[in-house]
Amino acid sequence: MLVNLYEAICDKDDKVGNYRLGRLVGEVRCKGDGTKSEIIWFPAVNEIRDDPNALWYGEVICDDFMRKDTCDVFNNAINITTGGGIIETEDGPISCREAKNLKPWYRETIEHILEWELRGCIRGKIVED
């Protein structure tokens, strides 16, 4: 599987947080079966954002901290809430929730990461199975 990582561009006047994809800054080649892989960063990751209408204009696309954070997201398990509610007991209501553990480097986890977990400056998409 090939996952491309892109510069995330959000216009300053966009109140909703819609992102568009900018420059290609990295890639992940993995099997999607739990076999550990790595992120390959391209030189563009160190370029300066040049769209004056976008957030983070004039800043580096993805600094060392964000690159490490992105690697951590891919390399660690993720717990997600899948349901829950309020249970009435003799002692009063109890809030409970159901969770699911997504293990690193599985396709389902990577899809979840691309949809929900990438922060700030990076977005990605699966471009090849």
**How much is the pLDDT for 74?**
97
Helices and strands, counts by H and E, the chain:
2, 6
Q: Give pLDDT tens digits for 22-70.
A: 999 999 999 999 999 999 999 999 999 988 888 888 999 999 999 999 9
How is the chain split into domains, by residue range? 2-128
Tell me the percentage of the chain whose pLDDT exceeds 70. Answer: 98
**Range with the largest mean pLDDT of 20-29, 86-95, 118-127:** 20-29
**How much is the pLDDT for 70?**
95
Predicted TM-score of the model (pTM): 0.85
Q: What are phi and psi of 62, to 5 degrees?
A: -150, 110
* Cα Dmax for the chain: 61
**How much is the pLDDT for 75?**
97
